[in-house]
A and B are shown apart, each in its own frame.
Chain A
Amino acid sequence: MLMFLIRRTLVLMVTLLVVSVLAFLIPYAGEGDPARKILRARVNDPALTQDQVNALTHELGLDRALHLQYFDWLKQTLTGDFGLSYTSRSPVGDLVLPALSVSITLALSALLLALVFALPLGIVAATRRGSKLDNAVTFVSQSAVSAPEYWIGPVLVLVFARYLGWLPSGGWNGIAYIVMPATALALRPLGYFTQVTRAAMSEVLAAPYITAARSRGLSFPRTLLRHGMRNSMLPVMTLFSFWFAGLMGGSVVIEVIFNIPGMGRLLYTSVVNNDIPVIQGGMMWILTLAVVVNTATDLLYGVLNPAIRVSHA
């Protein structure tokens, strides 16, 4: 377990290093003077004369070797200082954190919604394998997996916001604003959760201890709850955290469609506007968090699953 922890921490550090080097290089890619691009993130006055640029370039050490600049930059970023956004002129941290909380709320609502439908579907399919119902569930899950959210989203808006007028078409002002984006976002995870639940449950139901429990006189629903659920939930949990790590960075498309001030839209607008400090900060935050969440899940998985716990010891 300790070895596992050390290894994963090492991986995390290397990842951060690679991501940070790439993020650092963004001002140097593309057209234009990198020093000017960097200064724009550091100095409040956007209209600088060439003399001022030269002076500041020297003052901030932007004329030194690239690797020295990188270490300076890394020191700054590790304290959470990515500079000022080009467009809003506010520090990147002040933009990222609220956006992150919005995206996490949306991701959790979507994934819980997916879970609420996927678990019963998967379990029912697993208990009646090969039946018409099982085939129907298989087809539904395959359709859900194949439905692009940028297709479902606009169609939902058309029906529920434009024609029926039940829900707001975009924005982020309370529970009514979560319903449609969460539904559109839930569809694909729903399909995957259903498939995994079905597979895991089928496997568990074929295990000898289920037969043993049934022959001891335990009713089928109780067997399902007590033995089935408990033993089939691990793969579902892994998938859940996997999706959570991905969606925490925001579903770019859904947030753009529904005009939600989350991480995905922040990143998208920053790339479109070439708002370099926000891109750097956003990428570092999201990719780091994604790796951290997945590492944590792997650890948790190891703690919860005795078979893995033993093999890692």
Chain B
Amino acid sequence: MPSLTAPPPTTQEPWRRVGPPSHRPNIFASMVRGLGGRHWTFKVGAVLLTVILLVLVLTPWIAPHDPAAQDLSNRLAGPSAEHWFGTDHLGRDVLSRLMWGGRFSVTIAAITLTICAVCGTILGALAARRGGWIDELVMRTVDVLVCFPDVVVALFLIALFGTGYGTLIAALTITGWTPFARLMRGLALEINAKEYIEAAEILGSPKWFILFRHVIPNALRPVAAMSFLRFGHKLITVGALSYLGLGVQPPDSDWGKMLLDAQPYMERAPWVGILAGAAIFVTALSVTMIGQGIDLSKPRTTRATTPDGKGTPSHVPPAAISDSEAL
């Protein structure tokens, strides 16, 4: 057992000594602080998304009915005190089905998005740091994959492997990581030219350390914005595939599947389809607002340059195109 007064171990590599703990960057905290808290679309989107996520997480406890419980004597009933959003063609409670279905939609979108963001960011950063053939390989792959329509790629994979969650996630990942790689490569090229990277190199930091400790953390803000923007896009695509009957398979159901099931009854009971679509719309809108809010509000360093201390300096173009560019 080492004595408490023993000197700290000196075997540590020099590049690990990044100052006292209080000076070390807390990546998570700075990310939250740096997010676009000031922009109105960010605030509205954040409130919306929080409410939606809270409802989805609490669904097992707060859902008013069993989503699978059929009541054929009460089919396609309009909104009432018993069934707030009415019932569907099998007499099932629409509100409960929306809540349970949302868990599927949002989870699948979140899983694919996480894979896309992690792979794309690492590959993009790697391409920029290493250059050469790695850069060429990654970026040319991006050039190609970026122009493949995602639903078409999904159809292709379904033709090869059949429907299923694996196929669904794979299809959305193949087309989904490219915008992250493009964005990250651009950012990493900028970061590469910074003095702190040079300093880290002089200190002898290994390549992986520079990549994961310096390059990627310093690009997290735009990557976060992109993640939120792409989340809406993924949610809509997952819904589209379910709507075509190729995404979520029975007995599971998600918002796209609900819209599909409601289709034949659109005239008799329009609320079922409209509400299912509205659920996708509102969720997608909330994340889009958050993403753009992050994008539109400049980081503090730039913001400080405006004379009045608020609002973005007019000469800095908003980065709103970062998503659309790569869509």
Q: Which of A9-63 contact B (CB under 8 A)?
A: 11, 15, 22-23, 25-26, 29-30
For this complex, 21 residue pairs linking A to B, each with C-beta atoms less than 8 Å apart, are A23-B156, A29-B161, A138-B292, A142-B292, A146-B232, A146-B281, A148-B239, A150-B256, A151-B276, A151-B281, A154-B266, A162-B267, A199-B317, A199-B318, A199-B320, A242-B327, A253-B244, A271-B246, A287-B148, A291-B144, A293-B147
Nearest first, the 4 A-B pairs at minimum CB distance are A151-B277, A146-B284, A203-B317, A146-B285
* Residue in A150, A242, A252 whose beta carbon sits within 8 Å of that of B259 in the complex: A150
Q: Which residues of B contact A123 (CB under 8 A)?
A: none
CB <8 Å contact, A151 and B325: no
Closest to B44 in A: A139
Residue A237, interface by CB 8 Å: no
Q: Which residues of B contact A249 (CB under 8 A)?
A: 149, 152
Closest to A292 in B: B147
Bound complex: CA A26 to CA B160 (Å): 5
Residue A304, interface by CB 8 Å: no
Known: A146-B284, A154-B273. A196 touches B266 (CB 8 A): no
Q: Which residues of A contact B259 (CB under 8 A)?
A: 150-151, 154
Closest to A235 in B: B321
Q: Give the A interface residue count (CB, 8 A).
A: 67
Q: Which residues of A contact B270 (CB under 8 A)?
A: 155, 158
* Residue in A11, A252, A253, A271 whose beta carbon sits within 8 Å of that of B144 in the complex: A11
Residue A202, interface by CB 8 Å: yes
Bound complex: CA A150 to CA B236 (Å): 9
Residue B263, interface by CB 8 Å: yes
Q: Which residues of A contact B161 (CB under 8 A)?
A: 29
Bound complex: CA A290 to CA B161 (Å): 23
CB distance from A166 to the nearest CB of B (A): 16
Bound complex: CA A138 to CA B155 (Å): 33
Bound complex: CA A247 to CA B274 (Å): 25
* Residue in B143, B151, B160, B324 whose beta carbon sits within 8 Å of that of A29 in the complex: B160
Residue B16, interface by CB 8 Å: no
CB distance from B265 to the nearest CB of A (A): 11
Closest to A276 in B: B159
CB distance from A134 to the nearest CB of B (A): 11
CB <8 Å contact, A196 and B151: no
Q: Which residues of B contact A246 (CB under 8 A)?
A: 147, 149
Residue B121, interface by CB 8 Å: no
CB distance from B111 to the nearest CB of A (A): 19
Q: Which residues of B contact A196 (CB under 8 A)?
A: 320-321, 324-325
Residue B41, interface by CB 8 Å: yes
Residue B68, interface by CB 8 Å: no
Q: Which residues of B contact A11 (CB under 8 A)?
A: 140, 143-144
Q: Which residues of A contact B319 (CB under 8 A)?
A: 199
CB <8 Å contact, B288 and A142: yes
Q: Which residues of B contact A142 (CB under 8 A)?
A: 41, 285, 288-289, 292
Residue B162, interface by CB 8 Å: yes
Residue A195, interface by CB 8 Å: yes
Residue A76, interface by CB 8 Å: no
CB <8 Å contact, A245 and B147: yes
Residue B84, interface by CB 8 Å: no
Residue A147, interface by CB 8 Å: yes
Size class of the B contact interface (CB-based, 8 Å): 35 or more
CB <8 Å contact, A283 and B152: yes
CB <8 Å contact, A148 and B144: no
Q: Which residues of A contact B327 (CB under 8 A)?
A: 192, 239, 242
Bound complex: CA A294 to CA B146 (Å): 9
* Residue in B147, B155, B289 whose beta carbon sits within 8 Å of that of A294 in the complex: B147
Bound complex: CA A148 to CA B235 (Å): 9
CB <8 Å contact, B280 and A242: no
Residue B315, interface by CB 8 Å: yes
Bound complex: CA A294 to CA B274 (Å): 36
Q: Which residues of A contact B321 (CB under 8 A)?
A: 195-196, 199-200, 235
Q: Which residues of A contact B155 (CB under 8 A)?
A: 252, 267-268, 271, 279, 283
- Residues 270-304 of A, flagged 1 when their CB comes within 8 A of B and 0 if not, give 01101010010001001100110110001000000
CB distance from A126 to the nearest CB of B (A): 10
CB <8 Å contact, B143 and A294: yes
CB <8 Å contact, A239 and B314: no
CB distance from A235 to the nearest CB of B (A): 6
Known: A148-B281, A151-B277, A291-B144. A22 touches B160 (CB 8 A): yes
Q: Which of A125-172 contact B (CB under 8 A)?
A: 129-130, 135, 138-139, 142-143, 145-152, 154-155, 157-158, 162
- Residues 258-282 of B, flagged 1 when their CB comes within 8 A of A and 0 if not, give 0100010011001001101110110
Closest to B136 in A: A7
Q: Which of B148-173 contact A (CB under 8 A)?
A: 148-149, 151-152, 155-156, 158-162
Residue B212, interface by CB 8 Å: no
Given contacts A196-B321, A290-B149, A294-B143, 20 further A-B contacts (CB under 8 A): A142-B285, A142-B289, A142-B292, A147-B281, A150-B243, A154-B259, A158-B270, A195-B324, A199-B317, A203-B317, A239-B324, A242-B147, A242-B327, A246-B147, A252-B155, A253-B240, A253-B244, A286-B149, A294-B147, A298-B143
CB <8 Å contact, A252 and B239: no
Residue B311, interface by CB 8 Å: yes
Residue B40, interface by CB 8 Å: yes
Bound complex: CA A11 to CA B139 (Å): 11
CB distance from A159 to the nearest CB of B (A): 9
CB <8 Å contact, B149 and A202: no
- Residues 206-223 of A, flagged 1 when their CB comes within 8 A of B and 0 if not, give 100000000000000000
CB <8 Å contact, B160 and A130: no
Bound complex: CA A294 to CA B143 (Å): 8
Bound complex: CA A276 to CA B158 (Å): 12
Residue A112, interface by CB 8 Å: no
Residue A238, interface by CB 8 Å: yes
Residue A256, interface by CB 8 Å: yes
